[in-house]
Every structure is written in structure tokens, then in C-alpha cells.
């Protein structure tokens, strides 16, 4: 197979925000995941685990969506500010009825983002909250003036307003966020978004569309095109973004770790099938917004497999394997392909929940194959998308799949970055990368690999980890690679 990467065809910038993450008050994502409290023997800064912050910095996490999910539409932000001992608890009705003590609230989340060096993406409450509550939250977060909420924030120890770019107006309001009809939610969006003011650009004309606050409407689960159509028609001009959720199921063999190679292939098919769904949503957005002003936010995505046996079903604790990393790689390739519209994405859900990148157990921490996948992909962040053409097409393997899936980008300094998935669980992939008249001077890279069920545990934390890719030759300016079965590689080429 020979892929041709012609950097003269480079397109739009791939926003770094498509490599974002989603963290909900669900199971052990926040408590035991990020948050251990200031008095914990586990190393922390202001109650936030240091090992987690370091791990997330290392893969350049660009943003985190919080506090939900379904939880967001039941959350009153006022309960999560002020002295911890006076914060009223609540029952987390969506996720197991556990008591939420509200010790991790707005200041703690914003501190987490500052420690990591990433942007916050806050999701407001439409389902059970009032317009005033949401309005006040935005004022509390973003007003540098002397408004009542800015003064309250100062009283709680934070002088400067935070910079917030992304703000969600509800979540899945067709489901857990209030079971609303599309027309009804479109009106609610308009109303709530009106009062989520842009304190940093007060007084400008078209103030409802002006940056920095990008107001993101709660979107469909990708299949409900009617929802997308109604929202764009009725509220598109008031939006900065529209969300779409995109979970992948593996088919019949849905255990997290016990499955056959067929499930690897079925998962690849199920993931690639999401492209046409996303495309249909994009077409609707293109019709109402041909300038592509409104970003698509795939703000919940990832694999959804069986919960690990013996764990609390409401906590969605799921193992993840090379199969999960492969599915994430294919999905990121899709996001990259449509990155002129898809400009914000959030993998569900960071720590101990769904397709986590990290697991914790007391003081222990382990990185999953999906973590290493994000490490491999980080050089695509803010690079320019370059479509890949074929001199020799990939051959077809099981279930009509190509034997490899490739995506490329070019950086400002002319380096070319290519990520490749060998979709065969049985055979090596021999790949030639051609640079359309340009010659590669040097090519280096890394990869993750293992049998389809390979995964990391506290006892065996490095079963899947990034290794150096040694099997690269440069011949006449082309790069020749040989990838093991079931491998994801990332290659950087410097051209002459």
C-alpha cells in the first residue's frame, strides 16, 4: 500500500480541542479520580491528585468538559462554592443515588484546569435549573467588574475572572436533560443563551454571537437528524456550537476484556459507520450555516462496553484494551477529516468511567491503551489537515475493512505527521509513505501494539505502552514502514 501525502493540499487547522476530555460527577471519575481532598496522604495540590495532573499535562489535554452529562442538568453550582463544611450535599440521582458532598465545585474545577493548563468547558443546567442560576454562574465565572456575582467570587478567594471559551446550554435535553421536544428545547436554548452574557464583550453589536463565550446547544445522539435540523433552523443563529454524542458499541461481544478477533473487526466497522452519521449532521449544519461559524462539538464519544463484573453498575467502570484504542484512533481520524466543522470533542470519561484514559485505586494509578493513543496523536493538535491519496490502495481484509487507516497533518514548520492503524489482527501491514515530489530527510515515530484484548492493570501497568518505531527505512525520499498486526503508529517526517 502506498499513501501519498501532498502538503501543498493542506487544509484547515485541526483544532487542538478535538482531543479534549469529559469528566462527570459519575462513579469514581471526580471523587477518587481527580479529587482526594487537601488532607489526603495521596500527593495532591489543593486536593487534586498530582499524578493525574502530570499524566494529563504529558498528553497535552486541551480542555475538559464538566460537570456532566446527565449530572449537569441536576446540578446547582451555588451548592459547590464557599467553605466546604457549609456546602449542602445532594443525591446524585442519575448515577447510583450516592451522596454528593459538593467538595469539588467551580473553584476546584477551575483550579484543575489551571494546574493542567487546559481550557474549561462548563455545561450549564437547563433541565432543572433556572435561567437566573445559569446567568449568575456565567457572571460569577467571567465578570471582572463589580457585579454581585463577581463580588461573591472574590469573597470566595478568587479575584480575577476566569477565561471561559466553551459553555454548554444543557445536555441531552431530549433525554436525561428533561425529555424535551426539539422545538421546545430550541426555544429554551434561545432563552438561556440570551442571559449567559458575554461580560468580556458587553455592548458590541450581535453580542449574542460574539466571542469569547461560545454557547453550545445540547445536541442529538448523532442518529436524530430531526433534532439537529430543528435546532439549526430555530436557534442556529444564536449558537456558537451544536453538540452531537457518538458512542460506539462493540457488537455482541461487549465484555471489556473477553472477546474474539471478530469483535475487533466488528468494532472497527461500527466506528467507521459513524462517519456517515456525522456527515449527515454536518450537511444539515452546512445548509443553515455555510460559513461554518457554528462548531460541531462531539462532546461525548468513545466506546461503551460492559461494566467490569462485580462493580457498581451505576458507576460505569469499564476496562479498555487495544480494541478501545483502535476505535478511538479511527474516530479521531474521522474528526480530523471533518475538522473544518468538528472543532471540539470530549472523550467520555477521563478517569475510572467508560473509555477512561486513567484508572485509580487508592494511591495507585494506571494509564490505559487509550491514554497512550492520545499521547501518540498529540502532534496533530493545531496542525493542518492534509488529505491522504493512494498510489496503491489498502487491500480489503475482514468485513470489508481496509487493512490500514491513515490520517495526516502538516505543522507550521513544514513537518508532516501521520497516524496509522493496522486494522488486521493477523497480518503485518507494509506501508509506503510518499510525499508527492518532496523527499523525506528523516522519519521517526512510535507505536502501541498487542493482541486485541491487551490491556493494562495495576499488576501489569505497561502491557500496552508507547514504543519506538524502529522498522522505518527512507528509500528515495519515501518512508517504508512495517507494522505488527493490531498496531497504532504515529510517524513524523521532516522533508528536504
Contacts with ligand AHR, residue ranges (CB under 6 A): 24, 68-70, 171-172, 300, 348-349, 354
Q: 366: which strand partners?
A: 359
Prior bond of 203 cis (ω within 30°): no
Q: How far is the CB of 477 from ligand AHR (least distance, A)?
A: 46
> Residue 129 to residues 3, 43, 77, 125, 192: CA-CA distances in angstroms?
52, 36, 10, 5, 10
Beta-sheet strand order (sheet of 467-468):
384-386, 404-410, 416-422, 487-495, 440-449, 467-468
Is residue 300 annotated as a catalytic residue, yes or no?
Answer: yes
User: Which of 352, 358, 381, 361 has the alpha carbon at shortest distance from 371?
Assistant: 358
Q: How far is the CB of 30 from ligand AHR (least distance, A)?
A: 13
Q: How far is the CB of 72 from ligand AHR (least distance, A)?
A: 8
Q: 494: which strand partners?
A: 442
Q: How far is the CB of 300 from ligand AHR (least distance, A)?
A: 5
Q: Looking at 119, 139, 188, 300, which residue is catalytic? A: 300
At 491, give phi and psi (nearest 5°): -130, 135
Nearer to ligand AHR, 331 or 433 (CB): 331
Residue with cell 449542602: 88
Q: Looking at 100, 139, 172, 229, which residue is catalytic? A: 172
The answer to whether 466 and 372 have CB atoms below 8 angstroms apart is: yes
Termini Cα distance of the chain: 23
Q: How far is the CB of 316 from ligand AHR (least distance, A)?
A: 6
Nearer to ligand AHR, 348 or 376 (CB): 348
Calculate Rg over the CA atoms of the chain.
22
Handedness of CA 361, 362, 365, 370 (dihedral sign): positive
Q: Can you say whether residue 326 is alpha, beta or left, with left for phi > 0 and alpha for psi between -120 and 50 degrees?
A: alpha
d(CA 54, CA 469): 25
- Compute CA 399 distance to the chain's CA centroid, rounded to the nearest angstrom: 28
Nearer to ligand AHR, 24 or 478 (CB): 24
Nearer to ligand AHR, 178 or 445 (CB): 178
- Compute CA 121 distance to the chain's CA centroid, rounded to the nearest angstrom: 11
Nearer to ligand AHR, 24 or 375 (CB): 24
Q: How far is the CB of 171 from ligand AHR (least distance, A)?
A: 5
Is residue 478 annotated as a catalytic residue, yes or no?
Answer: no
Nearer to ligand AHR, 263 or 349 (CB): 349
Alpha helices, DSSP H, located in 85-130: 106-116
> Residue 105 to residues 41, 112, 135, 283, 302: CA-CA distances in angstroms?
21, 11, 17, 38, 25
The answer to whether 407 and 491 have CB atoms below 8 angstroms apart is: no
Nearer to ligand AHR, 347 or 490 (CB): 347
Residue at shortest CB range from ligand AHR: 69
Q: Which of helix, strand or coil describes residue 22?
A: strand
Q: How far is the CB of 95 from ligand AHR (least distance, A)?
A: 8
Q: How far is the CB of 487 from ligand AHR (least distance, A)?
A: 29
- Compute CA 174 distance to the chain's CA centroid, rounded to the nearest angstrom: 21
Nearer to ligand AHR, 70 or 479 (CB): 70
For residue 385, the surrounding DSSP H or E stretch is strand 384-386
The answer to whether 167 and 122 have CB atoms below 8 angstroms apart is: yes
Please identify every residue annotated as catalytic: 172, 300
Amino acid at each position: 500500500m502506498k499513501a501519498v501525502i501532498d502538503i501543498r493540499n493542506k487544509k484547515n487547522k485541526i483544532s487542538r480541542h478535538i482531543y479534549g476530555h469529559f469528566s462527570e460527577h459519575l462513579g469514581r471519575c471526580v471523587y477518587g479520580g481527580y479529587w482526594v481532598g487537601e488532607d489526603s496522604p495521596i500527593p495532591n495540590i489543593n486536593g487534586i491528585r498530582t499524578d493525574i495532573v502530570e499524566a494529563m499535562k504529558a498528553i497535552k489535554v486541551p480542555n475538559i468538559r464538566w460537570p456532566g452529562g446527565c449530572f449537569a442538568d441536576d446540578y446547582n453550582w451555588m451548592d459547590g462554592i464557599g467553605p466546604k463544611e457549609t456546602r449542602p450535599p445532594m443525591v446524585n440521582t442519575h448515577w447510583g443515588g450516592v451522596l454528593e458532598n459538593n467538595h469539588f465545585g467551580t473553584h476546584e474545577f477551575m483550579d484543575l484546569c489551571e494546574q493542567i493548563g487546559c481550557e474549561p468547558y462548563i455545561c450549564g443546567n437547563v433541565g432543572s435549573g433556572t435561567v437566573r442560576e445559569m446567568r449568575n454562574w456565567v457572571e460569577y465565572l467571567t465578570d471582572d467588574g463589580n457585579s454581585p456575582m463577581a463580588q461573591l467570587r472574590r469573597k470566595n478567594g478568587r479575584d480575577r475572572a476566569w477565561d471561559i471559551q466553551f459553555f454548554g446550554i444543557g445536555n441531552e435535553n431530549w433525554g436525561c436533560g428533561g425529555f424535551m421536544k426539539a422545538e421546545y428545547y430550541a426555544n429554551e436554548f434561545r432563552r438561556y443563551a440570551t442571559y449567559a452574557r458575554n461580560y468580556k464583550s458587553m455592548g458590541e453589536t450581535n453580542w449574542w454571537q460574539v466571542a469569547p463565550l461560545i454557547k453550545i446547544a445540547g445536541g442529538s445522539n448523532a442518529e436524530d437528524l430531526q433534532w439537529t435540523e430543528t435546532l439549526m433552523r430555530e436557534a442556529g443563529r444564536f449558537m456558537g456550537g451544536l453538540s452531537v454524542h457518538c458512542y460506539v458499541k462493540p457488537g455482541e461481544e461487549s465484555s471489556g476484556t473477553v472477546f474474539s478477533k471478530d469483535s475487533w473487526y466488528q468494532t472497527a466497522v461500527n466506528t467507521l459507520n459513524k462517519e456517515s452519521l456525522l456527515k449527515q449532521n454536518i450537511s444539515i449544519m452546512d445548509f443553515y450555516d455555510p460559513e461554518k461559524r457554528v462548531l460541531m462539538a462531539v462532546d461525548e464519544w468513545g466506546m461503551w462496553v460492559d461494566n467490569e463484573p462485580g462493580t457498581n453498575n451505576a458507576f460505569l467502570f469499564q476496562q479498555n484494551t487495544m480494541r478501545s484504542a483502535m476505535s478511538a484512533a479511527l474516530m479521531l481520524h474521522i474528526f480530523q477529516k471533518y475538522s473544518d466543522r468538528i472543532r471540539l470533542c470530549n472523550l467520555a470519561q477521563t478517569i475510572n468511567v467508560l473509555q477512561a484514559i486513567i484508572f485509580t485505586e487508592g494511591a495507585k494509578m494506571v494509564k490505559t491503551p487509550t491514554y497512550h493513543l492520545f499521547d501518540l496523536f498529540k502532534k496533530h493538535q493545531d496542525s493542518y489537515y492534509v488529505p491522504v491519496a493512494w498510489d496503491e490502495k489498502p487491500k480489503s481484509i475482514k468485513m470489508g475493512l481496509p487493512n490500514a487507516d491513515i490520517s495526516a497533518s502538516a505543522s507550521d514548520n513544514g513537518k508532516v505527521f501521520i497516524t496509522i492503524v493496522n486494522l488486521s489482527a493477523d497480518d503485518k501491514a507494509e506501508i509506503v509513505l510518499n510525499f508527492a515530489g518532496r523527499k523525506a530527510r528523516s522519519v521517526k515515530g512510535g507505536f502501541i501494539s498487542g493482541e486485541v484484548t491487551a490491556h493494562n492493570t495495576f499488576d501489569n501497568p505497561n502491557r500496552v505502552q508507547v514504543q519506538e518505531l524502529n522498522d522505518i527505512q527512507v528509500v528515495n525520499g519515501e518512508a517504508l514502514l512495517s507494522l505488527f498486526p493490531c498496531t497504532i503508529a504515529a510517524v513524523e517526517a521532516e522533508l528536504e
